[in-house]
């Protein structure tokens, strides 16, 4: 039987226009602070990179909010990496050994003007 010590939930929504206005040269500091190389490579390989950047950004925000709700605060954006599994479903990975006892579930979605994410973080006993 699975015993959960803590359960955190987070969600976020963002305008995709915010990411359409960004470019790698002029906004390098923002990209370097928020995204991993793998996330940038993935997003810029797509026809509409702003949609994928926005989805990854809100995914990170949702994970961080879920962590904050269980008292795990001050995690850097780059420590959360959003990718896709072999079937295309989003996966969130926390690249910090202090968070290795957590399981993260994430859902991402976007339309023409908004991106949204929902995250659940479980800490087992």
Beta strands in the chain (DSSP E): 4-15, 80-84, 90-94, 102-110, 114-124
- State the Cα angle at 27 between 91 and 49, rounded to 5°: 45
Domain count, the chain: 1
The whole-angstrom separation of Cα 79 and Cα 63 is 11
Q: What is the pLDDT along the chain (125 residues), one digit of tens a residue?
A: 667 788 999 999 999 999 998 887 889 999 999 999 999 999 999 999 999 999 999 999 999 999 999 999 889 999 999 999 999 999 999 999 999 989 999 999 999 999 999 999 998 77
| pLDDT value, residue 56 | 97
Inter-residue contact 81 to 93 (CB < 8 Å): yes
Q: Which two tokens stand for residue 98?
A: 């202090």
Inter-residue contact 11 to 68 (CB < 8 Å): no
| pLDDT value, residue 36 | 96
Query: What's 58's DSSP letter?
Result: H
| pLDDT value, residue 104 | 96
| pLDDT value, residue 1 | 62
Please state the pTM of the whole predicted model: 0.93
Q: Supply the CATH number for residue 40's domain.
A: 3.90.470.20
| pLDDT value, residue 26 | 87
Full domain range(s) for residue 103: 4-124
Residue 33, Cβ density class (10 Å: 0-12 exposed, 13-18 middle, ≥19 buried): exposed
């Amino acid at each position: 039987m699975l015993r959960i010590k803590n359960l955190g939930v987070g969600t976020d929504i963002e305008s995709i226009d915010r990411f359409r206005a960004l470019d790698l040269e002029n906004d390098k500091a923002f990209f370097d602070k928020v995204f991993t190389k793998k996330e940038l490579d993935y997003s810029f390989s797509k026809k509409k990179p702003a949609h994928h950047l926005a989805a990854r950004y809100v995914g990170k925000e949702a994970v961080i909010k879920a962590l904050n709700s269980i008292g795990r605060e001050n995690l850097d954006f780059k420590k959360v990496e959003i990718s896709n599994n072999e079937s295309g479903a989003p996966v969130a990975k926390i690249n910090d050994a202090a968070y290795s006892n957590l399981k993260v579930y994430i859902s991402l979605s976007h339309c023409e003007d908004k991106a949204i994410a929902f995250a659940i973080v479980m800490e087992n006993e």
